[in-house]
Amino acid sequence: MEFWFTEKQTEHLGLSVRVHKSLLIEQTPFQKLAVLETYQYGRMLVLDGAIQTTERDEFVYHEMIAHVPLTTHRRPGEVLVIGGGDGGAVREILRHSKVRRVRLVEIDDRVVAAARRFLPGLSQALDDPRAEVVNADGAEYLRTLPGACDVIIVDSTDPVGPAVKLFEADFFRTVHDALAPEGLFVAQSKSPYLDRGLIRDLLGIVRSLFPVALLYTAAIPTYPSGLWSFVLGSKVHHPLTFDEGRAEKLETRYYSPEIHRAAFVLPREIRDELNQAQ
Ligand code: AG3
């Protein structure tokens, strides 16, 4: 007998993955949480039916959400992650020796517990002495930290359930205020093929708040359409003027100085529609 999990990416499109074993299925106070052992991608974390991360392709997303902002900032000492309870982004952030502290603010502590139990390759980073896990609402928590962060990384779910407000203008104003004068942030912003309207709106919000506002992409096999995007907002530093030496020295599988630069080059139609000139 075969068991398949399907993420319904749109009304008319799904990605199906054959499941070897279901390791955990739980209704938390915030969302439905599952950890599945799959043949193709290893262990897979699913929230409300959406694939969050898999053992085999998580490195692409986590390297790209962490190293692009951290090599753009000259001295990233204080880093804050919103969401990302699996620990993958924190693991990559900790590769930067300039980072003194990384705080992970996760609203759903069941996600952290599931990752600690089933995804040690990601969650082990949370035990590092420089890492701190805070169980709180990220948007509320940020309000208590004016000007305190060098880099903020929004590693949220898609805008459903608890993450809806993390895609609204008010939240990005809070992010702006929580950043130090040279601060910058990155937020996951869904698929350039399937979510163009959302990305256009987000970029509009970020452009109204930050002098540098750009979109970059990465190829992630298990996310809808396979091409994923990140929006970056920065008070001073431009991501194409970054520390290439530091980028080259990082131990990575996807990220490199060349990938860093190339990620900001958008397919023509998307570039024109978003009016993104580098
Ligand atoms: N957070 C973003 C996952 C979005 C995937 N969307 C989807 N499958 N529809 C990932 C968390 C990893 N730390």
Give percent of the chain with pLDDT exceeding 90.
97
Asked if pLDDT for residue 278 goes beyond 80, the answer is: no
Token pair 């930290």: residue: 145
What's the mean pLDDT in 100-108? Answer: 98
Q: Of 20, 39, 54, which residue is a domain's last?
A: 54
- Angle among Cα 15, 18, 20 to the nearest 5 degrees reads 145
Q: How far is the CA of 21 from the centre of ligand 1 (A)?
A: 21
Residues 156 and 27 in one domain: no
What CATH number should be reported for the domain holding residue 16?
2.30.140.10
Ligand 1 binding pocket, CB closer than 6 Å: 7, 50-53, 84, 86, 88-89, 155, 157-158, 188, 223-224
229 plus 186 within the same structural domain: yes
Give the pair of three-digit tokens for residue 252. Answer: 């990575």
Same domain, 146 and 70: yes
Task: Say whether both 242 and 105 belong to one domain.
Answer: yes
Task: Give the count of domains, the chain.
Answer: 2
Judge if 24 and 146 occupy the same domain.
no
* pLDDT value of position 276: 77
- CATH number for the domain harbouring residue 194: 3.40.50.150
Do 219 and 148 belong together in one domain?
yes
One of 57, 86, 108, 155 is an active-site residue; which one? 155
Burial class (CB in 10 A: 0-12, 13-18, 19+), 4: exposed
Comparing 53-57, 106-110, 269-273, which segment has the lowest mean pLDDT?
269-273
CB 254 within 8 A of CB 64: yes
H or E element at residue 61:
helix 58-72
Same domain, 49 and 65: no
CA gap 216, 126 in Å, rounded: 27
pLDDT band of residue 162 (cuts 50, 70, 90) is: confident
Instruction: Examine the domain organization and report whether 29 and 167 are in the same domain.
Output: no
Claim to verify: residue 123 and residue 258 sit in the same structural domain: yes
Range of the domain at 24: 3-54
Residue 58 three-state SS: helix
Q: How far is the CA of 155 from the centre of ligand 1 (A)?
A: 8
Nearest CA to ligand 1 atom 7: 50
Same-domain status, 122 and 158: yes
> pTM of the entire structure?
0.97
CA-CA distance, 126 to 87, in Å (whole number)? 6
Give tens-digit pLDDT for 65-82: 999 999 999 999 999 999
10 and 91 fall within a common domain: no
124 & 8 share domain? no
CB contact at 8 A, 118 and 30? no
**Other beta carbons less than 10 A from residue 48's beta carbon:** 16
What's the chain's average pLDDT?
A: 97
Q: Which of 201, 227, 204, 205 lies closest to 216 in space, CA to CA?
A: 227
Q: Give yes or no: 150 in active site.
A: no
Dihedral sign computed on CA atoms, order 224, 137, 88, 214: positive
